[in-house]
Every structure is written in structure tokens, then in C-alpha cells.
Amino acid sequence: MASNNNGSNWKLIATTAIITAASLKAIELGWTNYITKEQSQKKNLLSSSSYNTEEDDEELERELELIRKSQRNVQNYSEELFREQLARNYAFLGEEGMAKIKKTSVIVCGVGGVGSSVVTYLIRSGITKIKIIDFDQVSLSSLNRHSCATLADVGKPKVEVLKEHMQQVAPWCEIEVINKLWTLKDAEELLHFANGDRPDWVVDCIDNIDTKCDLIEYLHKNKIQMISSMGAATKSDPTRINVGDISTTEEDGLARACRRKLKKRGVLDGVPVIFSSEKPDPKKAKLMPLSEEEFAKGNVDQLSSLSNFRVRILPVLGTMPAIFGLTITTWMLCKIAGYPLEPIVGKNRIKIYDTLLQPLAGQNLRLGGESERIPIAVLDIPYIVEEVFRGKSPISGESTRLQLSKWD
């Protein structure tokens, strides 16, 4: 019995060994075939890729040669290269829109944090004729917000730095620079190009109130298309940035000061502006006063770039001027190209003012009868609420749930 069992065991072991060996051989052959197939596919793919790479290299070399030719003669920058560089803009705005942008001329007054971003992206977007005006030089403290200045540019005129940089990016653009303060007495000269052409658009990025109001008034009265930047300093909430008429601005000290001055000059509306409606907060940045040490030294006006220009330090989060500048540029490009825009700020403010007017109309009707007309219109409400009462109740000092009422 033991002998028979041993014989059966050996047969079982031998059979198992044969089956295992056969299985391993089959697996080996299968794996070899798989590897061979994969290598063949990779070889074919590499062959195809090599063909495409050669084509890509030829295309790249052709573009580089076009660039080299264009750099030798900037005035004849290739139309083919222009269209390739702005291919995404053409896809977005279309042929007609880009044609309008290409033939539009722009003057930018003030090229600090906001203005330098405007210039940079107008040119990058296809503007072919631009003039930039600024009296100031690049400072070390302005590098946190200037669009292209470097350490090597500190002390150089801002306009020259921008021109030099943008010529390396967009040789197609004709750039005029004026290293000079914009003043009303020189307005006629400064707001024309060297050949006498008048600009299609002017962008105001000046931060001095008097100069700013002079420029806005001049553009408004001469019916020159414009957009003006209000205050980016002390602001930090990008969701509060709006584009609208100056008459609809709120929570912007620079806009408020400009409205008052312009109202006296007969300019009530018709001035597109960018502004932030971010409310001030004791926990947030504020205008920084000069130290007692600086006052003790004497005439503090000597600390400003020019007489009557701001002396105190305006805290600026470096990203905010850039956001202002990019918003201005985007708004302008859409306006020029005829791309649909529907800013909501103006609509919302009119609804708010109309809501304030209705209770007054009801009160007036109760007190004076139907013949008694309301002595103010909805467009007078912004001035009464924002300018006269500073957006607060004269009784409680609160700024919420305001209501107009007769007060005899």
C-alpha cells in the first residue's frame, strides 16, 4: 500500500511540474509578444513624432527669421507675426473688433501703478499708436506696483522705461513719450500727437486732484472719449471694483473730491471712471500722516515731487493698481471693439436713489396735496445723500436704512 501511494504521489508531482513549466513558457511567450508589439508601436510613434518635430522646427525657424527681419526694420513689422502674436485676441474679438483696436490711438496721462499697467496691456492687445505723459521717475518704493520697472530702472523717467520695455514686446506700436507734468496751459500741445493728430481715447491716471480735474474738464468739454482712474490706495477688496459714471461712485475719497470740484465747473456726469466701493474700516489701512520729526525739519512741501502734490504716504497694496489698470484696459478694449458690456453699478445706484425718493414723494403728497410737486429729481439724490450728508443720518449718525424727509 505504501509503495502504491508513493507511486501516485510521484505521478502527481511530475504532472504538476509539467503543467507549471508549460504555463510559465506560455506566459513568457505572451510577454515577449507584448513587449515586441509595444516596441513596434513606440517606434512608429517616435517616427511620427520625429516627422512632426521636424515640421515644428521648420515652423519655429520660419517665425524666428520673420522676427529677425522685423527687428531690423521695426516699421515693417510683419502682419503675419502681428496676427500670430495676437491670435487669441482675434479669436475672442473677431476681425472687425481687432481692426478697430489696431487703428485706435490712445494717450495715457500718468504711468505709475495704474497707468503703467494700462499702457502695457493696451500695447500687448494690439494698440498701434500711443502717447504716454508723466513727469516722474521710477523709485525703489514704486517697484511694488509698476508693471515693468526693475532695480536697474530706479531713477529713470517712467515714460522712457515703459517705451524701452514695450518696444521689446510689440515692435508694431508707435510710442511717443513726454517726460513732463500735464498742465491745463499745455493741454492743446500735450493732448495731440507729434503729427498733430487728436487721440481717439485719453486715459487719466493722475493722482493729484487739481490736475486730475483740469484734465477731466478739458476732455469733457472737448468731447474726447476718456476713462479716469479713481483711488486704488488703501483699497484691498478686488470684488468691490466697479466701472461707472462718476456720478454713481461711492466710498471713494478721490472720486468724492473730484465730484465736488467738477460740479462747480458744470461737469456733473458723463465721465466714465473706475473706482472701489470698499468701505473704510478702522482695522484697514489709512492715509499715513508725516511724523513730528519731518514737520520739525521745516517746509514739508519739499518732500513732495512737485508743489501742491501729495506729501503724506498713501498705503498701497501692490496688486490693486494693477487690477485697476487691467480693468480699465479690458473695459476700453471691449468698448473700442464693440464687444457687449453691461456694468451693473450705475443701474444699482439709480434703484437705490429711487427707493430713497419714493417715501419723500408720499410724504409730500400727504402734506401738500396732489398739486404739490417734489422739488428734487432722482439724479439730485446722489448729491444730497453723498455730498451734503456724507451718506449718514444727521440725527443718528448711522448709514443704514436711510430715508429722505422734509425738515422745517
Domain residue extents for the chain: 1-72, 80-284+316-342, 344-408
SS3 395: coil
Scanning the structure block, which residue is given the C-alpha cell 488703501? 234
131's enclosing H/E stretch is strand 129-133
Residue 251 has pLDDT above 50, yes or no: yes
Query: How many whole angstroms separate alpha carbon 230 and alpha carbon 122?
Result: 19
Q: Which whole number is the average pLDDT over 281-286?
A: 80
Q: Is 381 exposed, middle or buried (0-12, 13-18, 19+ CB in 10 A)?
A: buried
Q: Are strands 105-109 and 129-133 parallel, antiparallel or unpaired?
A: parallel
Contact between 195 and 150 (Cβ < 8 Å)? no
Q: Which whole number is the average pLDDT over 194-220?
A: 96
Q: How many residues does the chain have?
A: 408
Residue 370 has pLDDT above 70, yes or no: no
| Phi, psi at 250, each rounded to 5° | -150, 155
Query: How many whole angstroms separate alpha carbon 283 and alpha carbon 129?
Result: 44
Model confidence over 108-156: pLDDT tens digits? 999 999 999 999 999 999 999 999 999 999 999 899 999 999 999 999 9
Tell whether domain 80-284+316-342 is in CATH 3.40.630.10.
no
Residue 43 has pLDDT above 60, yes or no: no
Residue 183 has pLDDT above 80, yes or no: yes
Q: Which whole number is the average pLDDT over 334-342?
A: 93
Residue 380 has pLDDT above 70, yes or no: yes
Higher pLDDT, 18 or 394: 394
What is residue 145's predicted lDDT score, i.e. its pLDDT? 92
Least confident interval from 104-108, 170-174, 285-289? 285-289
Q: Which whole number is the average pLDDT over 271-280?
A: 90
Contact between 112 and 158 (Cβ < 8 Å)? yes
- Give the single-character DSSP code of 119: H
The pTM assigned to this predicted structure is 0.68
Cell numbers at 168, concatenated? 521689446
Query: How many whole angstroms separate alpha carbon 109 and alpha carbon 191?
Result: 9
Q: Which whole number is the average pLDDT over 295-318?
A: 53
What is residue 120's predicted lDDT score, i.e. its pLDDT? 98
Contact between 170 and 130 (Cβ < 8 Å)? no
What is residue 200's predicted lDDT score, i.e. its pLDDT? 98
SS3 397: coil
Higher pLDDT, 330 or 307: 330
